[in-house]
Amino acid sequence: MKKLLALVLVLCMVFALGMSAGVYADDVSITLWTYPIGGWGNSEIVDQLIAAFEAENPGIKVSVEYLAYADGDDKVNTAIEGKAAPDLIMEGPERLVANWGAKGYMVDLADLWDDTDKAEILPVVQAACFNKEGASYEYPLCMTAHCMAINLNRFQAVGADKLVDLDAHTWTTDQFIEAVGLLAAENPNVAAVFCGGQGGDQGTRALINNLYSGTFTDADHTKYTADSEENIKALELLAGLEGVNFDPAIVGGDEINLFRQGILDMAFCWNIGAQLNTDNNDAGLTNDGDQIVCMAFPSDDGVPELCGGIWGFGIFDNGNAAKIEAAKTFIKFMADSPATAEAVKASTYFAVRDSADGFDLTKIYDGNDIMSEYTKLMPFLGDYYQVVPGWAEARTAWWNMLQQVGSGADVTTAVAEFCTTANAAAAK
Amino acid sequence: MRKSSGLTQNLRRQETIAGYLFLLPSLVFFLTFVVYPMFMCIYTSFFDSNMGKDAVDTFIGLGNYKELFQDKVFLGALRNTVLIVVVAVPTVCAFSLWVASAITDMKPWLTSAFRVIFYLPVVTGSVAVTVVWKWMYNNYYGIFNYLLKGMGVIDKNINWLGDARYALWCIIIILFTTSVGQPIVLYVSALGNVDTSLVEAAEVDGATQMQVFWKIKWAQIMPTTLYILVITTINSFQCFALIQLLTSGGPNHSTDTVMYYIYYTAFKLYRYGYGNAMGVVLMIIIALLSAVQFKLGQAQD
């Protein structure tokens, strides 16, 4: 009798298991790897977004892994080589289009771009998401203009606040030089040209390119032009400017910390995410309570060109059509649906389009003074050149070049060496 | 009689099979994660192998090896690595032996306490250790600059990790502190196993403490010394995490080591074949040095 009962129980369990397997037979599980793009690096925030997606798409399960910029690329590269790449990845065109896309690992997302998308999404963003052959390896969600920041209290203390246009957030190269001179009389560490690695390097590139209107690449994004007279002049200026130190021991994140701690008077690695940060004090304040003002990079003509940051989703071609389709559904939900507003707000950046699926995205930050003030910098968004071939190698060559300049090497030689290395990588 | 002999043979065969079966998991692990990657590393080093879905590996023979010895960065990395080994290995061994000799005759609880103290950096995560050292070396608020300025030794902050004159030495100091723990524990154990009857006999014959150490103890702890030398040499040659976390090889490649340059070439430049060629060269150097150390150790025995 006991044996019979046990048999019945086992049969019931097997049947139940089979039923449940049948119910979820059509389920698709996909993995998303995301870099810390504002709140997209925070599991509490992302879990809510994923829950909303899964509620609307019950047949798709999404698991998330969080990457850090310090070793995220290594993890992804290792996963690619080990045939274990994630289905979805969230980052910018410099990785998705210019690196993994160019190497043939990404799915062409051109079919996701309908005419409405092309009308709604900013042209500069669209251009960055497509390669020269017309394939799209990224569907964009959010963007910002990278800028720099100043400690307003320090500027006021030495009378340098008169040198900056606090309303337009702009200043000229001459005003920058004068301000550094005034600040250096009080603090030997006015600013740091950080060059310990690639972290935050958009700041050093933008600083050098803006000072005398140099460019980093040609307009077609086919070769590196950092060895121009304008850039050499800018580097020579910085290398000889008292108070500005080339520091190979820090990267962008370290520089931000030093600025928040009041050790530096300026930060060259800044954006709206940093301005909104409340880890140690209210947003827009240093740890000691000094006021932080976002500024465009100083330029000789007073018209800055800021380096853009664009973030969105790409799909790795893992050869599974069902997963690719599920990943596309995820992308459309996050970046082109009524849910897009929350997805953009989670990033703490700006939407790349005015509306998504009829939902107005221009007012998502209404009532937020810091975001409203920051929008004054967005018109200065310059060319998104980070999609030039050989980008990954050029980035490492860049900070090595800055280290050489900082240690007293001849600027012309160092920059020429950089361009030789970077252009050789671009030509591969 | 014959039956009994057959049984013994059977038993032996069974024991042999059982022994090999016990070895099998380790053997599979060793073949999969050591021998196979080693073979692949040597094989790929003869190819121009890059990252890319459609990238085709091209056989270039010794091309990568020829390039290696014309690559100034690699040669600099090799020089730095050799410097680390030459400085770290003798100092680690000598310091460990000195500490072990000093603490081995203390009260047991005190010996254990010292062993724990010296072993702590070994069991602490390398990232945590590195973060603390990075803080101490910090140019702006590091404790070293604070103390040296306070004592009047320096009048201006030194960018310890950002100055090519100091950066590699800073790395060697950290490597030293994280490397001495295990040798100290091993030496304490080895000194504890020295045959006391020989020591007592030597003392009765009027040997001095130094003579007892060099003539009796040193000979008996030679296998431990050999092991420590080989392990410390290999660890020093493979110095990577400290470089990656602290300097990324900078400033101006002044802290590049061969291991870091392998990583940089493979993961930043995606040149797998070239990186593997470096790995093979490093493997040959380590193997040769270890062989020399073993030979010298055996000669001393």
DSSP class of residue A381 equals: B
pLDDT of residue B298: 73
pLDDT of residue A6: 55
pLDDT confidence bin for B149, thresholds 50/70/90: very high
If asked whether residues A173 and A120 sit together in one domain, one would say no
Q: Could you tell me if residue A21 is inside a domain? A: no
The answer to whether the CB of A422 falls within 8 A of the CB of A394 is yes
pLDDT confidence bin for A11, thresholds 50/70/90: low
Q: Could you tell me if residue A4 is inside a domain? A: no
C-alpha distances in angstroms, B156 versus A190, B145, B146, B150? 16, 8, 10, 11
Bridge partners (DSSP) listed for residue A64: A32
| Inter-chain touch B250–A403, beta carbons under 8 Å | yes
pLDDT of residue B293: 83
The pLDDT of residue B124 is above 80: yes
Identity of the residue in B140, B164, B264 whose CB atom sits nearest the CB atom of A189: B140
CATH number (domain holding residue A157): 3.40.190.10
The answer to whether the CB of A127 falls within 8 A of the CB of A163 is no
More confident residue, B147 or B270: B147
* Residue in chain B lying closest to A100 (CA): B52
pLDDT of residue A427: 87
The whole-angstrom distance between B60's CA and the closest CA on chain A is: 17
If asked whether residues A278 and A399 sit together in one domain, one would say yes
Around A22, how many Cα atoms within 13 Å sit in the side-chain half-sphere? 6
Tell me the residue ranges of DSSP E strands in A109-265: 139-145, 147-151, 191-194, 244-247
The pLDDT of residue B299 is above 90: no
Bridge partners (DSSP) listed for residue B47: B59
If asked whether residues A362 and A348 sit together in one domain, one would say yes
pLDDT of residue B3: 58
Q: What is the C-alpha to C-alpha distance for residues A198 and A418, in angstroms, rounded to an integer?
A: 14
If asked whether residues A294 and A216 sit together in one domain, one would say yes
Closest CA to B235 of B291, B179, B173, B170: B179
Among A11-25, A85-99, B36-50, B287-301, the minimum mean pLDDT is found in A11-25
If asked whether residues A218 and A330 sit together in one domain, one would say no
Q: What is the C-alpha to C-alpha distance for residues A109 and B125, in angstroms, rounded to an integer?
A: 42
Residues of B engaging A, defined by a Cβ cutoff of 8 Å: 51-55, 137-141, 159-162, 164, 247-248, 250-253, 264, 267-270
More confident residue, A102 or A70: A102
pLDDT of residue B301: 59
Residue B22 CB neighbours (<10 A): 10
**In the predicted model, what is the mean pLDDT of chain B?**
91
pLDDT of residue A190: 98
The pLDDT of residue A153 is above 90: yes
Among A8-12, A181-185, A200-204, the minimum mean pLDDT is found in A8-12
Tokens of B268: 């930043």
Q: Could you tell me if residue A224 is inside a domain? A: yes
If asked whether residues A298 and A313 sit together in one domain, one would say no
| Inter-chain touch A249–B264, beta carbons under 8 Å | no
Identity of the residue in B54, B164, B269 whose CB atom sits nearest the CB atom of A104: B54
Q: What is the C-alpha to C-alpha distance for residues B256 and A351, in angstroms, rounded to an integer?
A: 42
pLDDT of residue B4: 62
The pLDDT of residue A21 is above 80: no
pLDDT digit string (tens) for A33-77? 999 999 999 999 999 999 999 999 999 999 999 999 888 999 999
Q: Could you tell me if residue A233 is inside a domain? A: yes
Bridge partners (DSSP) listed for residue A292: A151
* Residue in chain A lying closest to B272 (CA): A81
Identity of the residue in B54, B159, B267 whose CB atom sits nearest the CB atom of A249: B159
- B-interface mutation test, from A73, A105, A407, most B Cβ less than 10 A away: A407
Average pLDDT over residues A107-135: 93
Residue B90 CB neighbours (<10 A): 12
Query: What are the φ and ψ backbone dihedral angles of A357, each rounded to 5 degrees?
Result: 55, 40
Answer left, alpha or beta for residue B120, where phi above 0 means left and psi between -120 and 50 means alpha. alpha
Complex ipTM: 0.81
Helices A391-406/A201-211 angle, 10° precision? 70
If asked whether residues A299 and A394 sit together in one domain, one would say yes
The answer to whether the CB of A73 falls within 8 A of the CB of A91 is no
**What is the Cα Rg of chain A in Å?**
24
Total number of domains in chain A: 2
* Residue in chain B lying closest to A251 (CA): B247
DSSP class of residue A352 equals: S
Q: What is the C-alpha to C-alpha distance for residues B171 and B137, in angstroms, rounded to an integer?
A: 10
Burial class of residue A388 (count of CB atoms within 10 Å of its CB; 0-12, 13-18, 19+): buried
Average pLDDT over residues A365-394: 90
Helix ranges, chain B (H):
2-30, 36-44, 63-68, 72-104, 108-123, 126-137, 143-150, 167-179, 181-192, 196-204, 209-211, 218-220, 222-237, 241-246, 258-263, 272-300
Q: Could you tell me if residue A42 is inside a domain? A: yes
Domain coverage including residue A127: 29-144+309-378
Tokens of B36: 């196979």
The whole-angstrom distance between A409's CA and the closest CA on chain B is: 10
Position of tokens 């062993």? B115
Residue A279 CB neighbours (<10 A): 8
The pLDDT of residue A359 is above 80: yes
If asked whether residues A139 and A165 sit together in one domain, one would say no
Q: Could you tell me if residue A327 is inside a domain? A: yes
The answer to whether the CB of A144 falls within 8 A of the CB of A363 is no
| Inter-chain touch A189–B253, beta carbons under 8 Å | no
| Inter-chain touch A400–B250, beta carbons under 8 Å | yes
DSSP class of residue A280 equals: S
pLDDT of residue B121: 86
**What is the Cα Rg of chain B in Å?**
25
Helix (H, G, I), strand (E, B) or coil at A121: strand
pLDDT of residue A8: 57
If asked whether residues A286 and A210 sit together in one domain, one would say yes
The pLDDT of residue B157 is above 80: yes
pLDDT above 70 as % of chain A: 94
The whole-angstrom distance between B291's CA and the closest CA on chain A is: 33
The pLDDT of residue A18 is above 70: no
Average pLDDT over residues A398-402: 95
If asked whether residues A98 and A208 sit together in one domain, one would say no
Cβ neighbors of A396 (< 8 A, separation 6 or more) are A198, B264, B268, B269
pTM listed for this prediction: 0.85
pLDDT digit string (tens) for B177-213? 999 999 999 999 999 999 999 999 999 999 998 899 8
More confident residue, A351 or B297: A351
Q: Enumerate the residues of chain B whose CB falls inside 8 A of the CB of residue A401.
A: none
pLDDT of residue A23: 41
Tokens of A54: 């899964």
- A-interface mutation test, from B40, B139, B244, most A Cβ less than 10 A away: B139
Q: Enumerate the residues of chain B whose CB falls inside 8 A of the CB of residue A255.
A: none
Position of tokens 């671009």? A426
| Inter-chain touch B140–A404, beta carbons under 8 Å | no
The answer to whether the CB of A89 falls within 8 A of the CB of A334 is no
Helix (H, G, I), strand (E, B) or coil at A213: coil
The whole-angstrom distance between A18's CA and the closest CA on chain B is: 35
Q: Which residue segments constitute the domains of chain B, with CATH numbers given?
A: 65-300 (1.10.3720.10)
Tokens of A73: 């690329």
Q: What is the C-alpha to C-alpha distance for residues A68 and A70, in angstroms, rounded to an integer?
A: 5
pLDDT digit string (tens) for B61-78? 999 999 999 999 999 999
* Residue in chain A lying closest to B56 (CA): A103
pLDDT digit string (tens) for B12-66? 999 999 999 999 999 999 999 999 999 999 999 999 998 888 888 899 999 999 9
Bridge partners (DSSP) listed for residue A306: A381
Kind of pairing, strands A244-247 and A139-145? unpaired
* Residue in chain B lying closest to A409 (CA): B252
The pLDDT of residue B276 is above 90: yes
If asked whether residues A186 and A299 sit together in one domain, one would say yes
pLDDT of residue A122: 92
Q: Could you tell me if residue A253 is inside a domain? A: yes
Q: Enumerate the residues of chain B whose CB falls inside 8 A of the CB of residue A197.
A: 248
The pLDDT of residue A24 is above 60: no
Q: What is the C-alpha to C-alpha distance for residues A202 and A194, in angstroms, rounded to an integer?
A: 11
Q: Could you tell me if residue A17 is inside a domain? A: no
The pLDDT of residue A357 is above 90: no
If asked whether residues A131 and A77 sit together in one domain, one would say yes
Residue A420 CB neighbours (<10 A): 13
| Inter-chain touch A263–B141, beta carbons under 8 Å | yes
The pLDDT of residue B300 is above 70: no
pLDDT above 70 as % of chain B: 97
